[in-house]
Amino acid sequence: MNLTATMPWIAAAGLLVFALVVSVGEISRRRGAWLLPAGLSMLFLGWSLIAIVNEGLLGFWTEHTRNFWGNQIWFDLLFAVGIGWYLIVPRAKAVGMNPLPWLVLVLSTGCIGFLAMTARLVFLEEKSFRKS
């Protein structure tokens, strides 16, 4: 199995572990919890740069317009970002974050920006929680 066939399985396993940990514990109140989304943002940026170098800047669009499955995956990603945005904006505003610059980042980079925004949010929440 090559790298592009293996990495989706590794990512799915990582999501499963993360979802189980979040489901049974309070991960967001742990000191330094912001480091996980920050690190994932950096790793995903690196992976995306590899994709851009190998497939071109708009290679993702070719995949999403290739067939019905490509369309379905695109719609799924848009719904996921929309749901995440709906849930994160009130928390972001509560700690003084201006969501509009983050929206530009998220719309232009997808989950790279969303992970960075999540890291900043968790960092600010941790900081305000320690003060109280």
Model confidence pLDDT, tens digit, residues 91-115: 999 999 999 999 999 999 999 999 9
Total number of domains constituting the chain: 1
Query: Which residue range(s) make up the domain with 116?
Result: 31-131
**27-62 per-position pLDDT tens digit:** 656 788 899 999 999 999 999 999 999 999 999 999
Q: Is residue 112 part of a domain?
A: yes
Q: Is residue 17 part of a domain?
A: no
Query: How many CB atoms are located within 10 Å of the residue 42 CB?
Result: 14
Whole-structure pTM value: 0.89
Distance CA 127, CA 30 (A): 11
Token representation of residue 23? 């489901």
